């Protein structure tokens, strides 16, 4: 098939041709989608366009794959879905990308303009449904507007705080003709993100650092999104300030660095949580003070002056009172702080206290020769991947064990659903992550529950022969739900146990993928070794201790200093 030549400016074009040409201008190298009646004009133009399209097996899988691609590549993930059920099937992914600040440009088909509002076949009010969970949304009303709309959508999705932008395209807009123009800069008067910080606020933070005795940096995903990991490391070392991470911020600061205290929050380390609780200056960078990080706000950093650095001004002061607000890009703000080279305070006693906590209260679990512990599987995974794989996860116990025991020393190695907590995210997001970084080992760590929500995407992995390694931590339950029912609901396991599982080895065989399984630590070594030496995809099923819980834990309503399960 021949690739069409780029269009000239001002040429009369079909709406679908405009879309394809606009994607070329935006240097899009992969599209995730699923065809249907309302988008057939677009798919007809994709035929022979030379553009690489990934046929998801479900629209939710397609948009999660686009999220994984966006998270690792830094480029916007592009999705196409048809009208009605195709569009509604991507709602979860839009909400997930919105809360976790992932750039997506999503095209949905729509019924013809003449029948919108008549309950036509496969019609849904996509703008009404998705407006609260997108950064911006459009419906095309004039064919010649399509190039401008697409250009604005890519600009909005990737600037400021990233997020998903939706473009709803009625079928007649995809079929009609108009004048194509893709020139000129995007200028949206009502949308002008602030990248450079106010210098007076930067100076206030410099002075606060000098005066502090117990400073802590809370580093979130904003550091990764701004590509500011090196600046964070240099700043922490320059000022000798310890660093804790949010769940989504893991990898933005080396986990093996002496200044790193671990992850904060509900299942964070004792040292990280107590450091926040006792700090007198808390510097939040690219984090939004989610409730899973703060615990009970009445007890959150009660003695600390809060400095909040964020590109989204709406986040500053939203949950936690802020003394030093700094609006700006995390990398740019850190660069400005490094130039200030402020005088470091005397933190000797503080570092001694933190070192004592680290030694006395490390992460722990009781290993067993009788049953395979999930924490051990993650430690072995770290060993057999040299700690440098791109790891994606679903949501639940396995997610927390990866966050705790797969120590991330490099940025852009961690893909998970944080704010929305989306089961079924891990497998499809691994597809996008692998396409974004073809030379890196990508491992999807999933639970037996979440895996069964999107397991059909194994078809994509097989079709494209993607060398994704899938690790199922199989405890025959919805693990985190079961844990909460054990602790808070007197062991009433209401519909959280899954004793009847499919044969995952036969499932792997059905999809043409190598399947391996283990029930002991010795078998786990052998399985991981073989999997990592296999060029293609592998599905690994680890039967792990069914009643293992994630600790430490901050119970709902408790403060970070009220952790349980800190010691055996």
Is-contact 177 245, C-beta < 8 A?
no
| Per annotation, catalytic residue among 4, 51, 122, 340 | 122
Catalytic residue of the set 135, 171, 233, 358: 171
Distance of CA 359 to the CA centre of its chain: 31
Task: Give yes or no: 483 in active site.
Answer: no
Distances (CA, A) of 297 to 9, 553, 557: 55, 16, 9
Of these residues, 59, 67, 231, 548, which one is catalytic?
A: 59
Contacts of range 319-325, beta carbons closer than 8 Å, 24 or more positions apart:
319/288, 319/289, 319/290, 319/291, 319/294, 320/284, 320/289, 320/294, 323/208, 324/201, 324/204, 324/205, 324/208, 325/201
379 classed as catalytic: no
The single-letter DSSP state of residue 328 is S
The active-site residue, picked from 18, 423, 480, 532, is 480
Answer yes or no: are the C-beta atoms of 79 and 66 closer than 8 Å.
yes
5 is catalytic: no
Phi, psi torsion values for 547, nearest 5 degrees = -110, 20
Torsion sign over Cα 327, 332, 337, 340: negative
Report cis status (omega within 30 of 0) of the bond before 552: yes
Residue 106 bridge partners (DSSP): 79, 166
What is the three-class DSSP state of 389?
coil
Give the count of alpha carbons within 13 A of 268, CB side only.
33
8 A C-beta contact, residue 215 and residue 241: yes
In sequence order, what are the beta bridge partners of 74? Answer: none
Strands of the sheet containing 305-310, edge to edge, are: 260-263, 243-245, 215-219, 281-285, 305-310, 324-327
DSSP bridge partners of 470: 444, 539
User: What is the spatial distance between Cα 3 and Cα 106, in angstroms, rounded to a whole number?
Assistant: 24
Q: Is 480 a known active-site residue? A: yes
Of the candidates 11, 121, 179, 522, the residue annotated as catalytic is 121
Which pair of tokens denotes residue 183? Answer: 């020139």
**Is 121 labeled as catalytic in the residue annotation?**
yes
For the chain, give the longest Cα–Cα distance: 72
| Residues with catalytic roles | 59, 121-122, 171, 480
């Amino acid at each position: 098939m021949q690739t069409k030549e780029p269009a000239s400016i001002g040429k009369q074009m079909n709406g679908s041709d405009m879309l394809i040409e606009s994607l070329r201008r935006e240097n899009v190298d992969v599209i995730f989608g699923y065809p249907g009646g309302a988008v057939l004009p677009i798919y007809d133009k994709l035929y022979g366009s030379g553009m690489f399209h990934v046929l998801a097996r479900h629209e939710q899988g397609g948009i999660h794959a686009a999220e994984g691609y966006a998270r690792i590549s830094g480029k916007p993930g592009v999705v196409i879905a048809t009208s009605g059920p195709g569009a509604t099937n991507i709602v979860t992914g839009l909400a997930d990308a919105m809360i976790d600040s992932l750039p997506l440009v999503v095209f949905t088909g729509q019924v013809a303009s003449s029948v919108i509002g008549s309950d036509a076949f496969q019609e849904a009010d996509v703008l009404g449904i998705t407006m609260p969970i997108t950064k911006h949304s459009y419906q095309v009303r004039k064919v010649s507007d399509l190039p401008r709309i697409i250009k604005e959508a890519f600009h909005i999705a990737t600037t400021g705080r990233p997020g998903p932008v939706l473009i709803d395209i009625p079928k007649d807009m995809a079929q009609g003709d108009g004048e194509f123009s893709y020139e000129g800069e995007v200028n949206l008067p009502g949308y002008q993100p602030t990248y450079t910080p106010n210098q007076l606020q930067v100076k206030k933070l410099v002075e606060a650092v000098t005066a502090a005795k117990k400073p802590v940096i809370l580093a979130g995903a904003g550091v990764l999104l701004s590509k500011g990991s090196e600046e964070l490391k240099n700043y922490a070392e320059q000022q000798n300030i310890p660093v804790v991470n949010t769940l989504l911020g893991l990898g933005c600061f080396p986990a093996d660095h002496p200044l790193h205290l671990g992850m904060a929050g509900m299942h964070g380390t004792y040292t990280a949580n107590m450091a926040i609780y006792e700090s007198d200056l808390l510097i939040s960078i690219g984090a939004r003070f989610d409730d899973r990080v703060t615990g009970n706000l009445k007890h959150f950093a009660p003695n600390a002056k809060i400095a909040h650095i964020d590109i989204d001004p709406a986040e500053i002061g939203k949950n936690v009172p802020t003394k030093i607000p700094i609006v700006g890009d995390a990398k740019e703000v850190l660069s400005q702080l490094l130039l200030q080279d402020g005088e470091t305070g005397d933190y000797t006693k503080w570092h001694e206290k933190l070192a004592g906590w680290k030694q006395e209260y490390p992460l722990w679990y009781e290993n067993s020769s009788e049953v395979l512990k999930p924490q051990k599987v993650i430690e072995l995974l770290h060993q057999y991947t040299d700690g440098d794989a791109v790891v994606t996860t679903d949501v639940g116990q396995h997610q927390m064990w990866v966050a705790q025991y797969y120590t991330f020393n490099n940025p852009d190695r961690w893909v998970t659903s944080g704010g929305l907590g989306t089961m079924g995210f891990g497998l499809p997001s691994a597809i996008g992550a692998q396409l974004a970084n073809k030379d890196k080992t990508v491992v999807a760590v999933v639970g037996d529950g979440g895996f069964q929500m999107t397991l059909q995407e194994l078809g994509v992995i097989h079709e494209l022969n993607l060398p994704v390694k899938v690790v199922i931590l199989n405890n025959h339950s919805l693990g985190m739900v079961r844990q909460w029912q054990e602790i808070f609901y007197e062991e009433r396991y209401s519909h959280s146990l899954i004793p009847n599982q499919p044969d995952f080895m036969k499932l792997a065989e059905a999809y043409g993928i190598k399947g391996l399984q283990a029930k002991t630590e010795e078998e786990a070594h052998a399985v991981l070794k073989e999997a990592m030496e296999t060029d293609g995809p592998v599905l690994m099923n680890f039967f792990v201790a069914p009643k293992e819980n994630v600790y430490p834990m901050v119970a709902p309503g408790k403060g970070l200093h009220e952790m349980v399960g800190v010691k055996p």
